[in-house]
Every structure is written in structure tokens, then in C-alpha cells.
Amino acid sequence: MGVSTLSHDNGNRVLQNAAVVFRRHLIDLLSHEPRSVSSIARELGLRRRDIEDDLQHAIRSATAAGHQIEIVPARCKDCGFVFAGDRLVKPGRCPSCKGSRLFESLLRVERRSPGG
């Protein structure tokens, strides 16, 4: 059956399943070592903004599944200002020194053991 012959409901289900698989892949990428949003996007051949929503959803799902989420906040290379830990995307400028040389946030998912 071709994509054009799928009903609207089945087409949505296929897209939802693809999103779930993609988000699981994101969690898998984050479970090996801390990664920035940019490095994940580069590895997947996507733009940073194209994965932000899926990444936030994947983190919510991982938290709900009992996995530990570690976020190393973005910080300014010039003055050391540390941004809020809940911000996943790279800020544009430092509010303290107005510099634009920033380290991105790093994310990591520590999977809980299957028995606990």
C-alpha cells in the first residue's frame, strides 16, 4: 500500500511512530556521553532548530521512564557566566558581559537499570 493510499488516521499513526523512533534514537545518542544540541544535529544531518522540539519531548519521555537527565548549563567563555540549566539551545549573548563566545549546554541521559 503506497503512502498516498493511507487513510488520514493511518498516516498520522505512521508519523507518530516515526517520531517515537526518532526520539528513542535521540535518547540513545545522549546515553553514551554528554552532547550538545548542535553536535547531535550535525551527526544526524539536520539543523539545530529541527531537533529542538523532539529533543525536549525525548527528555520528558526519558524522565517519565525514570531515567536521570544531566544538563551541564551553557556558559560564557569570556566571563564564566552560567546560564539557567533548563535552557537546551545555545544562547545568543551573555547577559553579563554581552560576549557571544559561549559554550553550549551539554545533555546526557543516564538510563535506569531495567530492574530498578
What pLDDT, on a 0 to 100 scale, did the predictor assign at position 1?
32
**Closest-CA residue to 34 (of 97, 105, 89):** 105
**Long-range interactions of 19-26: CB distance < 8 A, separation 24+:** 19/54, 19/57, 22/54, 23/54, 23/57, 23/58, 23/61, 24/58, 26/51, 26/54, 26/55, 26/58
What pLDDT, on a 0 to 100 scale, did the predictor assign at position 106?
93
Whole-number Å distance between alpha carbons of 97 and 51: 29
Q: What is the pLDDT along the chain (116 residues), one digit of tens a residue?
A: 333 334 445 556 656 667 778 888 888 989 989 999 999 999 989 998 888 888 888 889 899 999 999 999 999 999 999 999 877 888 899 999 999 999 999 999 998 765 54
